[in-house]
Amino acid sequence: MELSIKKYGILSPREVSINSQKLIDVDVQESLEKSLAQTYRNLGLEYLKFFKMDNLSKLATLAAECLLKDTELYAITDNDNVAVVLSNASSSLVADAKYQQTINGPGNYFPSPSLFVYTLPNITIGEICIKHKIYGENIFLISQFFNANNLYLHVNELFEKTNTRFCITGWVECNETTYEAFLMLVAKGKSDNIFDIKTLENLYKNK
Amino acid sequence: MKVVYKIADNIISSLGFTTAENMAAINMGQSGIVLHENKFGIPEPFQASAVDFGKLNAAFSSIAKSNQYTDFERLIISSVYETVNHTDIDLSSSETLFVISTTKGNVSLLDPKLSQGFDAVRVNLWAAANEIATFFKNPNTPVIVSQACISGVSALLAAKMYLESGKYKQVVVTGGDVLSKFIVSGFQSFKALSPNRCKPFDALRDGLTLGEGAATIILGIADENSLSANSIVIKAGAISNDANHISGPSRTGEGLYRAITHTLKDVDIQNLAFINAHGTATLYNDEMEAIAISRAGLEHIPVNSLKGYIGHTLGAAGLIETIICSHSLLNTRQIKTLGFSNLGVSKNLNVITKTSGFKATECLKTASGFGGCNAAVLIKKYD
């Protein structure tokens, strides 16, 4: 099956771009939180749920927004054929550490449900699916490094074996000091970028 | 036609360290759930199904140096080790892949009191997975699935696809989670835990019971005609998202309904012996499942939940429960829903209340979790 990368986007404190073209300006001096909030504003997004999210979900939500903007999938109310396959290295570790702080000692034991819910990496997928009404196949995979081989295998098989017609896939990684998202919109057919392992590796490397 | 089939399996839970021990206890109606007081320094007592780590560590010391591995890693390694003992599979082959399912892995290492002796990096799921793959000398990068409570079923479906692609000859699907202050306090903060043993689908159900454990299923791929009698095949499956809420189940059972209908697309439901639901015994989960099952036209099919025996084992649940279902198909014995007395959902589900026989050969297993994710898998016994 011939699959291609219709669009790819990068979102980091240094760069917000689609297909290597700058999408909006970012101020590299800002803190993590401020930088994400600034990207939200510069995208002209009005989505109050955003402010409840942890940084990893904010990152995934913004990256998906950049990717889906101006595509045929935006504002459709039932995206049953859209799959979401995300990956990263540190799972939800930032949220995990934050939650752990609330249960460390007997004098400091205030477990919070609103913190606990973000201690799962696949919440990012849930947030993207809610925002864009995506009901398709979804999975969150963890790997120490961007695993182009397995991501290619997984996405390719989804197109072969399931009702998938579009797939949002890539890497959403967030730690205490920085973040990076590299998302692609994959679909059947031709475009400048074939969906294969080599292209995946090159796009990720050159980001 | 090529099919993905089960080569061997293992379950480690409060009920035993092998599949046979677990099945024997379940067939006798035993539950491993007991009340824990002052455990992990958690102020409130809680019901849980816990693994006997004293016994596990004693057994582990004959395999490797116990103190080099965390509880989570020992649990998984023990499970894979016992599984592979029943086969002649070469785990060091490049044609063998590890797919590991877990929600929280080594998360207890974040607790300063528990992290002694381990490098801080070990809390990462990939670091634990590398330890496991390295222990078995597997040369491939392990694939880690972390998708809340559907992780186990997701991992099985991923493994099925990887085998069908022809890239691997066998996949070791293993997974687990360990009870910790982190996990128990989190579910307590959600007011999700029952003060009693959980009562799936019951009118008096008031929350879930947590459990811990590990399970392993080694999958292979073969021509349908070459399967021996009593083979278990992973026939179909699907995952869908509710696109509704990150922690609350959909009121229309949307994602689960879609996962079930995609899974049963080419299936004659006459062949369905039973449905093994997620059945956590929270008010909202069980009601959501009843709605999804009813919408899919499966209200009449016998349905059970296994949570009353071993609790909700998180990243292990999908694997443990699929293994139990496969043996239920092989023994042609439906397993009763422990803790259930009177129907407490809005649809007329056919909840299994007594262990009895059947003739059909297929079983639908479902799971749902935080993040709005839902999964279904269809397994079939070949005569």
pLDDT in tens, B360-378: 999 999 999 999 999 999 9
Please tell me the predicted confidence (pLDDT) of residue A75.
82
Please tell me the predicted confidence (pLDDT) of residue B66.
83
Is some CB atom of chain B closer than 8 A to the CB atom of A150? Answer: yes
- CB within 8 Å: A153 and B246: no
What does the alpha-carbon distance between residue B46 and residue B184 come to, in Å, rounded to a whole number?
Answer: 8
DSSP assigned state of A204: H
Share of chain B above pLDDT 70, in %: 100
Is some CB atom of chain B closer than 8 A to the CB atom of A108? Answer: no
A87-to-A41, B130, B147, B304 alpha-carbon distances in Å: 26, 17, 11, 33
Measure CB to CB from residue B154 to each of A103, A134, A139 and give the nearest one. A139
End-to-end CA distance of chain B: 16
pLDDT in tens, B222-259: 999 999 999 999 999 999 999 999 999 999 999 999 99
What does the alpha-carbon distance between residue A198 and residue B106 come to, in Å, rounded to a whole number?
Answer: 33
Measure CB to CB from residue A120 to each of B103, B145, B255 and give the nearest one. B103
Please tell me the predicted confidence (pLDDT) of residue A207.
81
What does the alpha-carbon distance between residue B124 and residue A90 come to, in Å, rounded to a whole number?
Answer: 6
DSSP assigned state of B343: B
Region B293-307: mean pLDDT is 98
Interface residue of A50, A92, A93, A129 to substitute, partner B, most B CBs within 10 Å: A129
pLDDT in tens, A29-72: 778 899 999 999 999 999 999 999 999 999 999 999 999 999 98
Q: Distance, in angstroms, between A25 CA and closest chain B CA?
A: 31
Amino acid in the structure at residue B11? I
Q: Which two tokens stand for residue B358?
A: 């059947």
- Whose CA is closest to B12, among B47, B51, B49? B51
Residue B302 near residue B356, CB atoms below 8 Å: no
CB atoms within 10 A of CB B348: 11
pLDDT in tens, A176-197: 889 999 999 999 999 889 999 9
* pLDDT above 90 for A99: yes
Q: In terms of DSSP H, where are the helices of chain B?
A: 19-27, 53-60, 71-84, 125-135, 151-164, 181-189, 254-263, 283-295, 307-310, 317-331
* pLDDT above 80 for B315: yes
Q: Look over chain A and give the mean of its residue pLDDT values, rounded to a whole number.
A: 95
Q: Is B217 helix (H, G, I), strand (E, B) or coil?
A: strand
Please tell me the predicted confidence (pLDDT) of residue B356.
87
Q: Which two tokens stand for residue A124?
A: 């990012």
- CB within 8 Å: B125 and A154: no
Residue A188 near residue A3, CB atoms below 8 Å: yes
- CB within 8 Å: B127 and A144: yes
- CB within 8 Å: B239 and A129: no
ipTM of the complex: 0.98
- Whose CA is closest to B323, among B365, B273, B369? B365
What does the alpha-carbon distance between residue B152 and residue B321 come to, in Å, rounded to a whole number?
Answer: 9
Dihedral class, residue B230 (left if φ above 0, else alpha if ψ from -120 to 50, else beta): left
Amino acid in the structure at residue A201? E
What does the alpha-carbon distance between residue B371 and residue B100 come to, in Å, rounded to a whole number?
Answer: 19
pLDDT in tens, A133-181: 999 999 999 999 999 999 999 999 999 999 999 999 999 999 988 999 9
Query: CB burial class (10 A; 0-12, 13-18, 19+) of residue A145?
Result: exposed
List the beta bridge partners of residue B377: B237, B365
Model confidence at A92, pLDDT cuts 50, 70, 90, reads very high
* pLDDT above 80 for A106: no
Q: Distance, in angstroms, between A27 CA and closest chain B CA?
A: 31
Amino acid in the structure at residue B127? A
Please tell me the predicted confidence (pLDDT) of residue A170.
98
Interface residue of B102, B153, B241, B242 to substitute, partner A, most A CBs within 10 Å: B241
Residues of chain A in contact with residue B253, where contact means CB-CB under 8 angstroms, are none
Which domains, and CATH codes, for chain A? 3-92+120-205 (3.40.47.10)
Q: Distance, in angstroms, between A66 CA and closest chain B CA?
A: 19
Which domains, and CATH codes, for chain B? 2-224 (3.40.47.10), 229-382 (3.40.47.10)
Dihedrals φ, ψ of A94, to 5°? Answer: -65, -45
- CB within 8 Å: B189 and A134: no
- CB within 8 Å: B161 and A161: yes
Residues of chain B in contact with residue A158, where contact means CB-CB under 8 angstroms, are 161
Residues of chain B in contact with residue A147, where contact means CB-CB under 8 angstroms, are 141, 143
- Cα angle B164-B165-B170, degrees, rounded to a multiple of 5: 60
DSSP assigned state of B375: E
Please tell me the predicted confidence (pLDDT) of residue A202.
96
What does the alpha-carbon distance between residue B100 and residue B156 come to, in Å, rounded to a whole number?
Answer: 10
pLDDT in tens, B96-140: 999 999 999 999 999 988 988 899 999 999 999 999 999 999 999
* pLDDT above 90 for A28: no
Which chain A residue's Cα is nearest to B145? A141
- CB within 8 Å: B245 and A130: yes
Q: Distance, in angstroms, between A51 CA and closest chain B CA?
A: 14
Q: Which two tokens stand for residue B220?
A: 């292979």
Model confidence at A25, pLDDT cuts 50, 70, 90, reads confident
What does the alpha-carbon distance between residue A124 and residue A56 come to, in Å, rounded to a whole number?
Answer: 7
Please tell me the predicted confidence (pLDDT) of residue A1.
83
- CB within 8 Å: A104 and B111: yes
Q: Which two tokens stand for residue B274?
A: 């039973």
Q: Is B216 helix (H, G, I), strand (E, B) or coil?
A: strand
β-strand B143-145 against B362-369: which pairing, if any?
unpaired
Q: Look over chain B and give the mean of its residue pLDDT values, rounded to a whole number.
A: 97
> A 114-133 residues with CB below 8 A of B?
116-117, 119-127, 129-130, 132-133
Is some CB atom of chain B closer than 8 A to the CB atom of A87? Answer: no
Please tell me the predicted confidence (pLDDT) of residue B250.
96
SS (H, E, C) A5-54: EEEEEEECCCCEEECCEECCCCCCCCCHHHHHHHHHHHCCCCCHHHHHCC
A123-to-A53, A116, B288 alpha-carbon distances in Å: 10, 11, 19
